[in-house]
Amino acid sequence: MPDTKKTAAGNRANVVSMDKAAREIERQRKMRRDPPPMEPRGPNKVHAGQWTPDLYGMPSDPECESPVTPIGFEGSYKYVIDSMGQFRAMKAADFNQVGIQDIYSDAPNYPKWMCPRWSKPVVDKKGIVTKPSEIVSFEADDIKEILFQACARQGFFSPNDKMRGRGAWTLRSGALVYHAGNAIWRCHKGKFSTLPTGMHEQHLYPRLSALPEPWTEPIGIEDNPAGKLLQTFRKWHWTRPAVDPVLLLGWIGVAFLGGALDWRSACLLLGDRATGKSTLQQAMRDIFGEALFRSADTTAAGIYQAMAHDARPVALDELEPDADARKLDNVVHLMRTSSSGDIGRRGGPTKGEASEFQMRSAFLFSAINNPLRSAQDMSRVAVLRLLPLDLNQERPPAVNADTAGPMILSLMMQGWGENGQNFKNELQRFRAALAQGGHANRGQDTYGTLLACAAILLGPELSADLDVPLGPDEERAWAELLQADELPEVENAKPNWRQCVDRILTTPVAAWRNSSRNTIGRTIHELRTTDEEGAAVDCPLDAATAKRDLEVAGFGLFNTREIVKGICRKHRVTLSEALMRYGLPDAGWVLAVPNTSPKVADLLEGTDWARGAWQDALRQCPVPGVMITNPEINRPTIDGTQQRCTLIVLDRYHQAPEK
């Protein structure tokens, strides 16, 4: 007997496919309405060249509107939407006979009707017209002047600010729209409708190659692909089997929402060979289809050039830290700006010319070794760690590439709610739970957005069936499941100032290459007089040698009493009074880091703190008394010269909280 469920699903897929074909035929029919130039147009029977101009100088009579729409100018460029709905950037020289034919190529009769060029009538010897004038072409100069004037009257237009490519976006009201390339989709109270491409609320949605459209038929629990995907993801071996499959499912929802979100969480699939990373990447290709930008070897420039103004997701395989460091850093930086939607800048084709770009894409990385180094990058990414697969286990079922993506897109559009209110409510409850788990705002954004999307996809009933705590009042479970202190990516994400000090203390000093003590941290450690339990030990290094070696490296080393010795003489105060005045302990070492120094710059070369950035990084320390910058005492003598420094009270530094 046939499987009735599969038969029903197949029938619904056929209905959706036929609806899609019918919509495309209707779109093409409307676009290709182009009667001969001699035929009057519209209900008012407007003859060629006799139309009524609007405020912009373009034909305004009913059903006589131009298939080419001027939208503005920028510098020497005039911007129009051509007869096929494409965005075109044109210079003055492009508005010649061939250029005008090009932009009106889907309505070739229109320019002949708009600005006709007439043939001369044929008159016989008796003066009788034997062949009247006919429209043989169009007046290119007249059309050029009309389009120039219309672009000027439309005003300044910048694609960087106004262009919205394929993917999800929001209108001013907060309502969600999905630009599928050939149409703009909306969902209101479960009902789907389309808008034509073009200008909407002062944003341009140009016609582009088509992406998969949302599923327009009802989706029951038994048909919901999110539940099937979660069960499939659970077949991989995760280090957190109750957490990671849910976060990966949530990322799929984030990726579909793209430009509609304030924050786009990224995911990193991390695992050795034979852990199934590539198979998961293939599953993403099946789900997103043409909507997914995918690559195993690309550059940041290659990504944003291919994406243009789209808000489609990006999946990058084999992003390893042993690759070209600069290339890797640029890709990670692109992910960072895309998460928040910040403006990026790139060089232009000519010297001194630069252009801006803005990406709003969710990124999915996969790698064997973690390519992310900085705390600001780790805080944007959910790291999903994979263990080796059991080669004898049953292979996960393949994703239905025809229905999974459109259905998930449909669920996310419906789950967005009226003006985005439902998504905001879901996000807020998970953010509150994550705050209880110790997450700062960035962690709440990253994990909260993933969980909110997973909750929308599964819904309360399916979440309960699959034993996932995403339903109402169940979000508190994630305070424990994603406790900040237990996440390696959060645990290792030290603040910038501490990372800078650690780098200073642990980087080998080139001038000490033949010494058994080749780092500043090791040198200071050997000055200790007590062990970790407070018992007295023999100091393996004398202070004079340590100070001399640190001066060779460009730093100063002083005890707290030496720092205030000059103040005691100058102001005639006791040592204890001076220490109290400047908040210094009665004993202990102070590392003086010059605010500007070629030696310090050499030590930090290739890091985020090179070229003097260490000065501001050290002053970011929020713990009082760790960094001393008082100008009365921060100018010690180093290498025979007084230098303005940031003074690090080392005992307090080691005792300060790591975060």
Domain residue spans in the chain? 31-157, 167-205, 221-385+411-491, 496-655
Length of the chain: 659
pLDDT in tens, 410-424: 999 999 999 999 999
> What CA–CA distance (Å, rounded) separates 87 from 90?
10
**Residue 628: strand, helix, or coil:** strand
Q: Are 313 and 364 in contact (CB under 8 A)?
A: yes
Lowest pLDDT segment from 87-91, 191-195, 276-280: 276-280
For residue 657, what pLDDT is reported?
82
pTM: 0.77
Give the model confidence (pLDDT) of 240-266 as tens digits.
999 999 999 999 999 999 999 999 999
CB-CB contact of 322 with 373 (8 Å): no
Region for 412 from its dihedrals, namely left if φ exceeds 0, alpha if ψ lies in -120 to 50, beta otherwise: alpha
Q: What is the DSSP letter of 387?
A: -
Q: Which residues of 414-453 are buried (b: 16+ CB within 10 A; e: fewer)?
A: bbbbeebeebeebbebbbebbbebbbeebbbbbbbbbbbb
Query: What is the distance between the terminal CA atoms of the chain, rounded to a whole angstrom?
Result: 63
Reduced 3-state DSSP string for 562-603: HHHHHHHHHHCCCHHHHHHHCCCCCCCEEEEEECCCHHHHHH
Query: What type of residue sits at position 515?
Result: S
**CA dihedral sign, ordered 453, 458, 460, 466:** negative
Q: Is the model's pLDDT at 478 over the cut of 70?
A: yes
Quick count: other Cβ atoms within 10 Å of Cβ 470? 26
Q: How confident is the model at residue 355 (pLDDT cuts 50, 70, 90)?
A: low
DSSP-derived secondary structure for 419-486: GGHHHHHHHHHHHHHHHHTT--HHHHHHHHHHHHHHHHHHHHHHHHHTT-S-STT-GGGHHHHT-GGG
**How high does pLDDT run on average in the chain?**
88
Pick from 115-129, 169-183, 190-204: least confident: 115-129
Q: What is the mean pLDDT of residues 206-235?
A: 93
Residue 130: predicted pLDDT: 76
DSSP label of 15: H
Query: Virtual CA dihedral for 191, 197, 201, 202, nearest 10 degrees?
Result: 170
Secondary structure letter of residue 299 according to DSSP: -
For 572-603, letters b (16+ CB in 10 Å) and e give eeeeeebbeebebeeeebbbbbbbebebbbeb
DSSP character for 24?
H
Tell me yes or no: is domain 221-385+411-491 CATH 3.40.50. Answer: yes
For 497-546, write each residue's pLDDT tens digit.
998 999 999 999 998 987 778 999 999 988 876 556 555 566 778 899 99
Is the pLDDT score of 307 beyond 80?
yes
- pLDDT at residue number 317: 86
Residue 482 confidence (pLDDT) above 80: yes
| Contact status, residue 402 vs residue 13, Cβ threshold 8 Å | yes
In this prediction, residue 607 carries a pLDDT of 85
Phi, psi at 72, each rounded to 5°: 145, -170
Contacts of 1 (CB under 8 A, 6+ apart): none
Sheet-wide strand order for 176-179: 167-170, 176-179, 184-188, 191-195
pLDDT band at residue 491 using 50, 70 and 90 as cut-offs: low
Instruction: Please say whether the beta carbons of 106 and 84 come within 8 A.
Output: yes
User: Does residue 2 register a pLDDT over 50?
Assistant: no
Taking residues 634-653, what's their average pLDDT?
93
Q: Are 257 and 168 in contact, with CB atoms under 8 Å apart? A: yes
- Whether 158 shows a pLDDT value over 60: the answer reads yes
> Given this model, what pLDDT does residue 547 score?
94
State the Cα angle at 447 between 446 and 451, rounded to 5°: 130
Provide the pLDDT confidence category of residue 606 given band limits of 50, 70 and 90. Answer: confident
Question: Of 231, 320, 328, nearest to 270 (Cα)?
Answer: 320
Please report the pLDDT score of residue 555 as a whole number.
97
